[in-house]
Amino acid sequence: MHPSHSLSFPFLLSPAAAYPDEVGAGVPVTSEELASLLYKPQEGEWGSHSRDEECVRVLRGIDQLLSLEISNPFAVPVDLSAYPLYCTVVAYPTDLTTIRRRLENRFYRRISALMWEVRYIEHNARTFNEPESPIVKAAKIVTDVLLHYIGDQSCTDILEIYNKVKAEDLSSTEEEEQVAEVSPDSEGPGTSSGKRVVKRQMKRQPSKGCVDSWKNHCKQLLSLIYEREDSEPFRQPVDLFSYPVSFAFFSEFGRAGKTTA
């Protein structure tokens, strides 16, 4: 073949394409081909460190966090057999183990995506539980601790952050009890010893928004059911002109049910 002919047929110089042994079968992807398809983080998307360095650091922090009792409710996915309505209320379930596995697999393209998912631990707890319940308070602490740890790229001990956040939470709780020093001149006989008197604040009454929160949850659930195709026959009252029925049937059915019960 003349040398000039090879310029007209560049495919003659390319490696032979792999074909499946059987019609309809697939061809395995090589590790090099797979690596070329994966996302390559840009500079600054993981702060001052590389993605691998940050993933390893956050993995160590999550392992430390999982050793604490406060993280137990958020360690693994919610058991849907015990809480079947959870998936109908919570749009994006997540937990510490899921986040940990995604870090191992380098699932997150940017550190902002990791922090976005961490925030859903507290968000989901508030969505499914009462606003002032212990599990919501625990979710806030776990979320704040992990977000602080991720944000401080020089930190290697998440327990230091946990102790600091926990101390701040305890101090805010203790503010509900005010300790006042009684002046000897301000009281009558018998109070000149200047004893400390503890003044307890009146228990805050739940706001109307908290009392009526269940109504909003019901509205959200009904809206979700209404959007499902299965609910179409039950969205409107039955048209008695199109589907005439004998109400005697329902009265007989009701009496039969009482007899059976």
Per residue in 92-147, pLDDT (tens digit) is 999 999 999 999 999 999 999 999 999 999 999 999 999 889 999 999 999 999 99
pLDDT, residue 191, reads: 45
Residue 152, pLDDT score:
93
Position 2, amino acid: H
Distance in angstroms (rounded) separating the CA atoms of residues 203 and 134: 17
Q: How many CB atoms lie within 10 A of CB 65?
A: 22
**CA atoms of 225 and 165, how far apart (whole Å):** 40
- For each of the domains in the chain, give its residue range(s) and CATH number, in order of start: 52-79+90-172 (1.20.920.10)
pLDDT at 235: 84
Quote the crossing angle between the two packed helices 111-128 and 96-104, to the nearest 10°.
160
Residue 231 pLDDT level (bands cut at 50, 70, 90): confident
Query: How many residues are there in the chain?
Result: 261
User: 49-66 pLDDT, tens per residue?
Assistant: 999 999 999 999 999 999
Q: Tens of pLDDT along 27-36?
A: 888 888 888 8
Q: What is the arithmetic mean of pLDDT over 239-246?
A: 74
Q: Is the pLDDT higher at 207 or at 109?
A: 109
d(CA 43, CA 58): 19
Q: Say which amino acid occupies 20.
A: P
The pLDDT, as a whole number, for residue 2 is 54
